[in-house]
Structure 1
Amino acid sequence: MFDHSDPLTPDIEMHKPPSDLGDRVALRLVKFMRIFADAFFTKRYGHRAVVLETVAAVPGMVGGMLQHLKAIRHIRDDQGWIRELLDEAENERMHLMTFIKIARPSALERGIILVGQGLFFNAYFFLYLFFPRIAHRVVGYLEEEAVISYTQYLAQVDAGEAENVPAPQLAIDYWNLAPDARLREVIVAVRADEAGHRDRNHEMADSLADS
């Protein structure tokens, strides 16, 4: 979980320009995935969040598991990556649990969740197994898109196009929000989390490239 004392930090406009073929593949893959999200959900950002957060919770769990096995296999320290990646997965799960309270998924969306998670887990597992640097870059670009989506969601709330409902108690407790916090404060907190995941995964990809 990240510091939300300043919701504009880290920079919500940050974009990591691709520097090689692997980065370009990662970026194009994420842009391709975005096409389907935009086509299906359009501006239904609450429902988009429910479905996409089920996928967003996968990389941290897969990366943490494979880093754990790698550390054991090579009998070396993991430099804190295992715990950090598992914490990322848990943070994304809490995003999901929060938005389920706000936008309850339909039967169709639950079906999409089931299929999407199954496909993404297996694809990301093999990507991380053989190309961990590209895997982290994919997550970095996914989180860039997440920050954009939550910024658009925030604008929708501010414009009165989406109801600024009371924040679920789960979110108030998790992010230490004010007792009378509403959806807007939740979106700001979640967006800050996603920006933090974005920056850290790009850093991890850079670290693997340097090594």
Structure 2
Amino acid sequence: MDSPAASANLERHRSAENMSDRVALGITLTLRVLADTFFAKRYGNRAIVLETVAAVPGMVGGMLIHLRCLRWMVADHGWIRTLLDEADNERMHLMTFVQIAKPSWFERLVILAVQAIFFVAFFLLYLSSSRTAHRMVAYFEEQAVISYTLYLAEIDAGRVENIPAPASAIAYWNLPENARLREVVIAVREDEIGHRDVNHEFADALTAAPIRQTG
């Protein structure tokens, strides 16, 4: 049982305060409906598709900020490393759930299509409004926290088998040798909470002091 403070952190939501926020939230909730329709309670398979999408923003944002800093010879204030670390972390989430859920060839094709479409869409969004892009990622992560909390509930209720954690996950998150799926989901959820807060902070920073978007 989570403490009141932990529960509040899990349920934290940033209200949309302007048109940029409302666009970001609207896109997020639309994609949430599609995910719920397609995957229902198959949370392992849902995680695979969502994590292949989640690994895109950090790489795109890091690349575009890197190029902007080169063109204008300005400091990045640590944003590049933070975003690339986020992308790598999300990639590790994907590789972990591939081992857990073992996607079919059809689901692998869906992953390829979703990633290609999302990469192009997010690239264009970041060029046009990096603030909106970061807010959208933060809202994505809010939904990811909800999804992983529901995943844990399914495990705790015995509706999802609490299988042994993959060795790669044990090594990556420094889990006990006898760790199981439940511990992996908790670790992943903690990562998503961090990404949520960082991207909200980045969006806030861009709201306060907009930077050149396309440079």
TM-score (norm 2): 0.93
Within 5 Å, give how 1:122-201 maps onto structure 2. Answer: 122-201=120-199
Within 5 Å, give how 1:1-211 maps onto structure 2. Answer: 8=6, 11-211=9-209
Which amino acid is the alignment partner of residue 129 of structure 2? F
Q: Structure 2: where are the runs of 5+ without partners?
A: 210-215
The answer to whether the Cα contact below 8 Å between 1:164 and 1:183 also exists between their aligned partners in 2 is yes
Distance 1:142 1:78 in 2: 24
Provide the secondary structure at the position in 1 that maps to 2:13.
coil
Aligned residues: 205
Q: Structure 1: where are the runs of 5+ without partners?
A: 1-6
> Which deviations, in whole Å up to 9, do the C-alpha atoms of 1:35-89 show, x marking residues without a partner?
1100110000000001110000000000000010011111011000000000000
The answer to whether the Cα contact below 8 Å between 1:172 and 1:179 also exists between their aligned partners in 2 is yes
Provide the secondary structure at the position in 2 that maps to 1:37.
helix
Distance 2:6 2:198 in 1: 16
> Which deviations, in whole Å up to 9, do the C-alpha atoms of 1:78-108 show, x marking residues without a partner?
0000000000000000000111110011111
Distance 2:118 2:146 in 1: 21
Q: Which has the higher contact order (CA 8 A, sep 6+)?
A: 1
Percent identity for Structure 1 against Structure 2: 60
**Bigger shift: residues 82-91 or 9-18:** 9-18
TM-score (norm 1): 0.95
Q: Give the superposed CA RMSD.
A: 1.2
Provide the secondary structure at the position in 2 that maps to 1:133.
helix
Distance 1:80 1:48 in 2: 31
Per-residue deviation, 1:117 = 0.4
Which amino acid is the alignment partner of residue 28 of structure 1? G
Provide the secondary structure at the position in 1 that maps to 2:95.
helix
Structure 1 runs (4+) deviating above 4 angstroms are: none
Per-residue deviation, 1:109 = 0.7
Per-residue deviation, 1:11 = 1.1
1:4 alignment partner in structure 2: none
Provide the secondary structure at the position in 2 that maps to 1:180.
coil
